[in-house]
Amino acid sequence: MSLPIQTFSNRAGGFTYFKALGHPLAAEGAAMLVQKIRAAKRAAIYDPLGQLPAFCALHGLKRGDYDALFIRDALALSGQKANGESARPVTELKECGADLLFLPAFDSGGLLAQIRHLLPEGCAAATLDEMRIPERLLANKRNYLDKLNFATNFAFFRDEGGRHTRIVTANYWGGYGAKNAFLWCRLFGGGGETLADFEVPLAHANGTVTIDSRRVREEHSLPEFCGQLFVSVINGAGHDIVKYVIDTFGEECEASCTHDANAWPADLYAGLPAPAKGEKIVLWVQNSHPAPIPENSVGINLMGEKKAQMLGESIPPFASRALDVSELMPEAKWPQQLEIQAGKWFVRPRYEAAANKGRRRINHPNVQRDDLRHDEDIRRAAPFVGKGFLLPAPVMPVKEYKTVCLPTPMSTAQTSLPLTVIIYDASGKEIARENLGTVPRANCRELNLGEMMQGAPSGYGHAELIYDLEQEGGVLDGWLHALFRYADLQSGHIADTSFGSHMFNHAVVFKNEPQSYKGPPPGLSTRLFLRLMPAPAEVFCHLTYPVSAQWLPQSETRLELKNANGEDVAAHNFSINASGSFLFFARDVFSAAQLREAGEAGYILVRDATCRLFGYHGWRQGGGFALDHMFGF
C-alpha cells in the first residue's frame, strides 16, 4: 500500500507537510505526542485539514489509540469517511467527554481558537507544534511550513570496503541573498541508526560545498558505513530544492557520478535496467521516513507486466537495503527494464551495477508519473514548435566509446511510444535519422548510437530522441525518457545516465515549455555547474545546443573558472553551432596554473545568455570514467 501522504504536485510543486512530519529531529516529539494520546482517559481528534492519515502512517497512531474523530468538512460528513472511519461534526465536540483533544496541524493557534469554545470542560489540547524542530533551524519562524524551512534531501552515502562518496554543491542560496546559511546533516547507518549529526557552513555566495565520506568518518571516529545522508539547508533563500553532484569512487578503478535525488517520494519509479550478461544489479532501497516499511510494500516488475515481486521483509526507519535484482527477478535480462513499486516510501533511489572484474557504477531510476494522459495538443502545436519535445544526449567519440540508448517508458499512460532518433555531428550537421515506429511499452529496443555516428568528421556529437508525429497511434504526453549507456572500448568500464525531454530554444511557449531555471517560460539562458575534482581525476564536459525550432545560428557561451569561494579565476569564450555540441576537458580550456589557482574544490560555471544549452559532466581516472547530466541554478 502506498503511504497516504502528498509529496508533489506539478502545479504547486513540493508539499512540506510530509517533510515536517518526517524530519528526523521531529521524531522524538511525535513519539511523545502519540504517548500522550494513548495515556489520555478519553482522547478525541479534530482534523480540520485532513492531515491525520499522514501522521498516523508515519508515527504509528492507530484507531484504537483515540475515541472519536471530528472534522469540519460538510461533504465528508454527508456520508463519506475520513481516515477510513466515520467522523462526527466538530460542533459535537462538547458532548464527547474527552480530556485530551489532538489537532494534527502546525501553526495551530488560529485553528484551535476557532473551536476552543466547543471543548469539553477541562479538556487539554495537543498539536503538532509540540514536535517542531528547533527554532534556529527555521528560515521563516512565522510560517512553519514555509518551503524554505524544509529545503531537504537525501543522498546515498558510503565509506566501506575501499569505496567512498563525495557530495558537491554550490551555495546558490547565497546568490539569492541568503545570510548565515549552513547545512544541517544527519548520517544514518545501514540499519537506520544515527551515526553523526554535523553542520557545514555556507560561507561564500556561489562558493562550493563538499562533503567527503572519508573526512566525515575520520572527524566522527566512525566505523565503515553504507547508508544515507539527510541534508537540510538552513536560512536558505530563493530555492527550496537541494541539488548536488554525488561521486562514488573506489581503490580499484570504480567510478560513477550522478546528481541529486528527487526530494519527493513517489509511488513509482522506472528506468531500472535488467542485468546484462555477467552483471549484478543492486537496487538500494533507502527508507526516507521515521516509520518502518512494512513487508511486501515495495517491489519490482518487468516493464509492461503487472505482476510484481515484492520484498518480503520490513525495513526500519531511515534504513537501507541492497535489493539484488537477479534474486528477485532472475528472468529479467538486458535490454529489459524494470518498474519499481515504491509506495512513496523513498526518494529517487540508486542502483549499483557490478561487472567486468568488479568494476562498479551507480545511477538512478526516475519518477514514473501516473497523472499524465495522451495530449493531442503536442501534435497540434508542432507547426509552431518544430521538433517540440526532444531528449539530447552525448554520442561520445566513436573510436573510444560505445554509446547506446534504451528508450524508457516513464508514465503509466505510455502504452506505446512513437519515436524517432536523430544523430548530429559536433558541427550541428544531421548525420543520420531513424524512425523507430510505434514502440510497445514492454519492448523498447537498444539503439547503437555510435554506429549511426560512424563517418562523422568530428567523430562525436549528440543524439536527439523525439516524437515521430507522422506515426498513427502511440502516446504523446511530453514525458519522453531514455537511458544512455557508455562503454569504454579499452577498459570495459560502463557509465549509465538517464533523463527526460524538454523543448529547447524557441520563442513560442507551449504550456510550461521551454522551461526556465528561474522565472516563467521560455527558458533561453544557461547556468550550469561543473565541479572540479582532486587529481588524478580528469574532469570533462559535453555541451549540446539543442534546438526544437529555429533559433540563433550560434551560441555565445562563456566558461567561468571559479575557486571554492565562488571568485573568478579565468574565463573562456566560444560558440556552438545550433544542433551542435562541444566536448572538452578542463585541462584543455584552462592552463595548469589557472586550475591550480581555482583548486580542486573550484568549479566551472557554464553561462550563456542567448540560448539554453544542455550539459553532461564526467570524469576519468585510470580505466574508469563517469558521466551524468548536469544541474543548473
CATH number of the structural domain spanning residue 102: 3.40.50
* Domain end point (choices 131, 163, 184): 131
Band of pLDDT at residue 81, cut at 50, 70 and 90: low
Instruction: Looking at the structure, tell me whether residues 349 and 399 fall in a common domain.
Output: no
> From CA 631, how far away is CA 157, in angstroms rounded?
20
The answer to whether residues 470 and 355 belong to one domain is no
- When pLDDT is cut at 50, 70 and 90, the band that residue 80 belongs to is low
What per-residue confidence (pLDDT) applies to 76? 80
In a shared domain, residues 193 and 124: no
Residues 383 and 456 occupy one common structural domain: yes
Alpha carbons 583 and 492: distance in angstroms, whole number: 21
Asked if 411 and 491 sit in the same domain, the reply is: yes
Query: Do the domain assignments include residue 146?
Result: no
Domain boundary among 311, 337, 364: 364
Selected residue with higher pLDDT from 85 and 589: 589
pLDDT at 623: 79
In a domain, 28, yes or no: yes
Task: Count how many domains the chain has.
Answer: 3
Q: What's the pLDDT score for residue 507?
A: 94
pLDDT tier at 79, thresholds 50, 70, 90? low
Residue 528 located in a structural domain: yes
Q: What are phi and psi of 327, to 5 degrees?
A: -75, -40
Residue 142 lies in a domain: no
**Same structural domain, 51 and 122:** yes
260-307 confidence digits (pLDDT tens): 878 899 999 999 999 999 899 999 999 999 999 999 999 999 999 989
Residues 19 and 118 in one domain: yes
In the prediction, which pLDDT does 259 show? 81
- Give the β-pairing of 390-395 and 461-467: antiparallel
> By residue range, what is the domain housing residue 610?
377-629
Query: Tens digit of pLDDT for each residue in 564-599?
Result: 999 999 999 999 999 999 999 999 999 999 999 999
Residues 357 and 392 in one domain: no
- Looking at the domain assignment, is residue 140 inside a domain? no
Report residue 244's pLDDT band, with 50, 70 and 90 as the boundaries. very high
Residue 39 in any domain: the answer is: yes
pLDDT score of 10 more than 70: no
Is the pLDDT at 49 greater than 70? The verdict is yes
Decide: helix, strand or coil at residue 209: strand
629: closest CA among 501, 519, 516, 522?
Answer: 501
| Sign of CA pseudo-dihedral 568, 574, 578, 580 | negative
Residue 458 located in a structural domain: yes
Residues 190 and 105 in one domain: no
- Residue 204 phi/psi, 5-degree rounding, is -125, 130
Residues 382 and 463 in one domain: yes
Residues 70 and 32 in one domain: yes
